[in-house]
Chains A and B, each alone.
Chain A
Amino acid sequence: MSLIVTKLQKRIANQEVLRDITFSLDRGQVVGLVGPNGIGKTTIFRTVTRQYIADGGTVTLDRHDLTNESPQQAAIFYLDQQHLFFRKYALAKIATTYALLYPSFDQAAFLHLIKKFGLTGGQRFQGLSKGYQALVMVAMALASQSPYVFLDEPFDGLDVLIRERIVNLVVDAVADGQRTFLIASHNLAELDGLSDRVLFVKDGRISRDLTLENVRQQAVKLQLVFRTKEIPAVIKQHGRILNIRGRVIEVVFPDFTPDVQAALQAEQPVLNESLPLSLSDLFKVEFRKKHAEVG
């Protein structure tokens, strides 16, 4: 069972926000959707879930076309934080309502989850703190039993304890291989430990579809110091400089082949230290202009 988005297009205010969004999601993954502010991540969610009518492209789920309405739409669960009709509802009423919207919504599971957070069905959603509202929304996503869950900035403005609880809930939910989470987040550190795969959104397209395990096998992040201040040609050609402090250069080589390694050794660096490659580094590599000033 896979969700396939092909050549999705959307124009808003005469701007081509989505030009050619193509990706697929299989079950049992946590996928990060990453890109700078205003790049169209929320628009992707809203267009896939038909809040926005797409100008082109298709969304299919097991050969069911979701672009034209389909009962299969219940396989995707997405709560748009700016559009929550149930803000004034009590939590038990939210469960009753969602049981009608999503045929597999498990009310008992939802009430059990919120009880674990110390909440009761009689409490109103709008009376909860931001952190608890986020937890309730994740609980709703889990209780919906929808195989595809979209979360838009789920860690935004939350304290570390709540973030940790959300991460644990997501990890537990994915463990049985029946669920996939597509998470748009600026909190790359949180996403780094959570996601298996990252989709970079750039210029209305999915510019990179990276499996973090593979990336870490191919790419390296090095801290280098050379005898002179001049940056060697091998770095300019194959590397992406993240930072320069004095003569210390932090550089990522997206494709660190033996040839690149040999060329680097030939420059006889004074310091050549490998650093852990994070999602933030990949973000900078993808979105920082190649010859942008750093440091």
Chain B
Amino acid sequence: MGDHQLLKLVRMRHKALVRVMFVFVVLLALLNTGESLNTYHEQQKNTMTFTQFIEEKKRAAKYHDTSLVNESYATYLKEQRYFVMPQRDKLYSSLVVGQIITIIHYAIPLLLGLAMAGMDQASSFNVAMFKSRFKRRQFFAARYWYGLTCLLGTTTLGIGILLLGIFAGVPTEYVGISGLNILGLLMMNLAIDSFLFTVGIGVGSIFSTLFGMFVFGLFGGWLGASAIQRFMVYNAVNHRSYWSLLPRGDQLFLLLFILALTISVAGYWLTRWLFDRISLENEGDILLLPKLRWVIFVYALIVVPFNFGDWLFQNELLSYSVSIIGVLALGLWWLHRERAQEQLMVR
């Protein structure tokens, strides 16, 4: 009874947001389908004749372009006709994923999580829930699962629309997408949705203002992702022997899939645990849990200097020192600002 009412409450509260997300994803899928099919059919129209192909090959050779050197006309025709070149026995087909998963797929779950948690905090809905008969963890769980279920349903529908459009608009023998590829696609969708939605809910739950969520949460997240990328590139170049130990292909895909789901589950439990400990006298601060400022501070101290590298006169020592001093100065400003806000909160 209680759970049913809580779910009804959460649904009532967030249905507008979910509807916006639904319309956006479906429109995006339709648009993407139309564009993909258009591109495919344009490609068919512009297929070169044998004579044109030979001429193109000669022109490429003249400009030292080796892409067509070993390609026969038959291979070219095959490539042209396929929507994506088949990688049928692969769970993770980069060509299929590249066609269907766009950058917006990453933004939607993150923004939905952030908006759900952030709006509840900013509009004082959390206040009403904290003093209600429902346990905080019950509320957190209901909102999380409602949001994730709607998200997964909608993004799966979006992928379904796109695939249906492709199968309807391209001769079946030239679609090039296997059942295994689709399974991989759905697994990837699940991993992206659960991981980024959890990040969004997490950031939205611990920051007290929308400003804090976007500036510190998203910018901080972007800096972190960028730092990881830099770290990976650095290691790939300087420690090739270690890098080669990592699995490849579907094994790597499965490893990353499991990793994303594990981090999502851990993130869910951690955020729920933190949500239980929020005390709203910290509303005027940037973080609802002020003790977390030290975690963010240490995170910034690692991520910011590493990210910016040798930005100042290409001198690492100077650049790192200035970056660290910058983070320390920002940290002191933050501390000072929070002290002032706390004084105002006492009544």
B9 at the interface (CB under 8 A from A): yes
Q: Which of A41, A52, A85 contacts B281 (CB 8 A)?
A: A52
Inter-subunit contact A52/B5 (CB<8 Å)? no
CB of B124, distance to nearest CB on chain A (Å): 4
B78 at the interface (CB under 8 A from A): no
- Number of A-B residue pairs with CB-CB distance less than 8 Å in the complex they form: 84
Q: A73-B131, A80-B127, A85-B128 are in contact. Are A96 and B12 (CB under 8 A)?
A: yes
CB-defined contacts of A85 to chain B, threshold 8 Å: 123-125, 127-128
CB-defined contacts of A13 to chain B, threshold 8 Å: 339, 342-343, 345-346
B residues 320-347 in Cβ contact with A at 8 Å: 339, 342-343, 345-347
CB-defined contacts of B6 to chain A, threshold 8 Å: 100
Inter-subunit contact B133/A53 (CB<8 Å)? no
A233 at the interface (CB under 8 A from B): no
Inter-subunit contact B345/A100 (CB<8 Å)? no
A238 at the interface (CB under 8 A from B): no
A38 at the interface (CB under 8 A from B): yes
Count of chain B residues with Cβ under 8 Å from any Cβ of A?
29
A residues 65-91 in Cβ contact with B at 8 Å: 69-74, 76, 78, 80, 82-85
CB-defined contacts of A12 to chain B, threshold 8 Å: 281, 342, 345-346
Inter-subunit contact A38/B347 (CB<8 Å)? yes
CB-defined contacts of B239 to chain A, threshold 8 Å: none
Inter-subunit contact B347/A43 (CB<8 Å)? yes
| Most chain A CB within a 10 A radius of its CB, from B136, B278, B345, B346 | B346
CB of B170, distance to nearest CB on chain A (Å): 47
CB-defined contacts of B347 to chain A, threshold 8 Å: 17, 37-43
- Cα of A85 to Cα of B131 in the assembled complex, Å: 13
B15 at the interface (CB under 8 A from A): no
CB-defined contacts of B9 to chain A, threshold 8 Å: 97, 100-101
CB of A75, distance to nearest CB on chain B (Å): 9
- Cα of A84 to Cα of B8 in the assembled complex, Å: 20
CB-defined contacts of A39 to chain B, threshold 8 Å: 347
- Cα of A78 to Cα of B278 in the assembled complex, Å: 19
CB of B120, distance to nearest CB on chain A (Å): 8
CB-defined contacts of A265 to chain B, threshold 8 Å: none
The interface residues of chain B, by DSSP majority, are classed as helix
Instruction: Give the residue name and chain of the B residue nearest to A98 (CB).
Output: B128
- Cα of A21 to Cα of B132 in the assembled complex, Å: 22
Inter-subunit contact A100/B342 (CB<8 Å)? no
- Cα of A96 to Cα of B13 in the assembled complex, Å: 11
B277 at the interface (CB under 8 A from A): yes
A216 at the interface (CB under 8 A from B): no
Q: A73-B133, A74-B133, A97-B9 are in contact. Are A38 and B277 (CB under 8 A)?
A: no
B23 at the interface (CB under 8 A from A): no
A50 at the interface (CB under 8 A from B): yes
Q: A84-B124, A100-B8, A103-B133 are in contact. Are A17 and B346 (CB under 8 A)?
A: yes
Instruction: Give the residue name and chain of the A residue nearest to B138 (CB).
Output: A69
Q: Per-residue CB proximity of A258-286 to B under 8 Å, as 1/0?
A: 00000000000000000000000000000
- Cα of A84 to Cα of B280 in the assembled complex, Å: 14
CB-defined contacts of A103 to chain B, threshold 8 Å: 5, 133
- Cα of A70 to Cα of B133 in the assembled complex, Å: 6
B residues 103-133 in Cβ contact with A at 8 Å: 123-125, 127-128, 130-133
Inter-subunit contact B346/A38 (CB<8 Å)? yes
Inter-subunit contact B280/A101 (CB<8 Å)? no
Inter-subunit contact B5/A100 (CB<8 Å)? yes
A217 at the interface (CB under 8 A from B): no
| Most chain B CB within a 10 A radius of its CB, from A12, A84, A103 | A12
CB of A3, distance to nearest CB on chain B (Å): 14
B39 at the interface (CB under 8 A from A): no
Instruction: Give the residue name and chain of the A residue nearest to B136 (CB).
Output: A69
- Cα of A46 to Cα of B130 in the assembled complex, Å: 10
CB-defined contacts of A76 to chain B, threshold 8 Å: 131
A49 at the interface (CB under 8 A from B): yes
B149 at the interface (CB under 8 A from A): no
Closest 9 A-B residue pairs measured CB to CB? A13-B342, A83-B124, A49-B131, A53-B279, A83-B127, A74-B133, A85-B125, A100-B9, A71-B133
| Sampled A-B contacts (20; CB under 8 Å) | A12-B345, A13-B342, A13-B345, A17-B346, A37-B347, A41-B347, A43-B281, A43-B347, A50-B130, A51-B279, A53-B278, A73-B131, A80-B127, A85-B123, A85-B127, A85-B128, A100-B5, A100-B12, A101-B9, A101-B132
